Amino acid sequence: MNSERRRGHVAGLPTWDRCAVMGVVNVTPDSFSDGGRWFDTTAAVKHGLHLVTEGADLVDVGGESTRPGATRVDEAEELKRVIPVVRGLASEGVTVSVDTMRASVAEQSLAAGAALVNDVSGGLADPAMIPAVAAAGAPFVVMHWRGFLEGGNVRGTYADVVSEVVDELHARVEAVLAGGIAPDRIVVDPGLGFSKDSEHDLSLLAHLDRLSELGHPLLVAASRKRFLGRVLAGPEGAPPPARERDAATAAVSALAAHQGAWAVRVHEVRATADAVRVARAVEGAQ
């Protein structure tokens, strides 16, 4: 199957003729990769608009850090961080995704103009999430997730990571469908770094075709993650800091686009916007 057919289309969102670029705005004081930089509504909206000028097709707004060991923010704080940024970006015509595990945040974000709900728990963290997204008729990202990471990389044991992630995602997709979300509004995501070590992440990236066989558009979120630090570590084994992993991130974007990913989620948009365009040009070449 060629990658254009594999990539698919998500009902309720624009169509792109190549892998889409999702830029990240973390409205948090503690994200591992860009913590604290956009922890203010005006700065966050400005940053999101900047990502669009750099080539982002969608902007993913999150108010809760999911990094290992992060403590959860309460609902009121998450709403306070996220809703004004979603509203600000949506009112400028940006296609906004909201990165949340809470149904209330998803609902209010959709009311404020968000077009997509990105739930790293795939609907597991809040039982009200799937009914809320179904009722709104919104598209939904189902990420592979084995639970909260407080206290370290728990539940990260696999005999065959690719098969297990595919099977567990399949089960989540079934649950999401049973909950009333339409099949053409479901996106799947392997959840790189979530209860997975570097070898697991690399195996999943090597076998994106197996994830595509789930029959839903695929989102790949490798940006600045730990496994890239491990790949780039020098002889003394010290990984470069998160913000020095953008070239490596763009390399993954090209590989994911070439394998038919529907979208890639990145902090630094410019290099990835170039990467997905090159991948598209190669695809279109005779």
Binding residues for ligand PMM, rule: CB under 6 A, are 24, 26, 31-33, 65-67, 99, 118, 120, 141, 143, 189, 191-192, 219, 221, 265
The CB density around residue 201, as the number of other CB atoms within 10 Å, is: 24
Q: Closest approach of Cβ 54 to ligand PMM, in Å?
A: 17
Q: Closest approach of Cβ 177 to ligand PMM, in Å?
A: 18
Identify which of 250, 235, 269, 257 has the alpha carbon closest to the alpha carbon of residue 56. 269
Nearer to ligand PMM, 85 or 236 (CB): 85
Reading phi first (left if > 0) and then psi (alpha if -120 to 50, else beta), residue 260 is in left
Nearer to ligand PMM, 16 or 283 (CB): 16
Q: Closest approach of Cβ 183 to ligand PMM, in Å?
A: 18
Q: Which residue is nearest to ligand PMM (CB)?
A: 221
Residue with tokens 């990260």: 156
Residue 20 has which token pair? 């889409």
Q: Which of 18, 37, 185, 265 is catalytic?
A: 265
Q: Please enumerate in sequence order all residues whose Cβ is within 8 A of that of 237, keeping only pairs 6 or more positions apart, or say none.
A: none
Q: Are 123 and 142 in contact (CB under 8 A)?
A: yes
Nearer to ligand PMM, 144 or 258 (CB): 144
The CB density around residue 110, as the number of other CB atoms within 10 Å, is: 22
Q: Closest approach of Cβ 235 to ligand PMM, in Å?
A: 27
Nearer to ligand PMM, 63 or 88 (CB): 63
Q: Closest approach of Cβ 285 to ligand PMM, in Å?
A: 30
Cα separation, 176 vs 79, in Å, equals 24
Q: Are 99 and 44 in contact (CB under 8 A)?
A: no
**Bridge-partner residues for 98, per DSSP?**
61, 117
Q: Which of 18, 225, 226, 280 is catalytic?
A: 225
Residue 8's Cβ-count burial label (10 Å; 0-12, 13-18, 19+) is: middle
Question: Is residue 225 annotated as part of the catalytic site, yes or no?
Answer: yes
Nearer to ligand PMM, 72 or 283 (CB): 72
Question: Is residue 210 annotated as part of the catalytic site, yes or no?
Answer: no
Q: Which residues are catalytic?
A: 225, 265
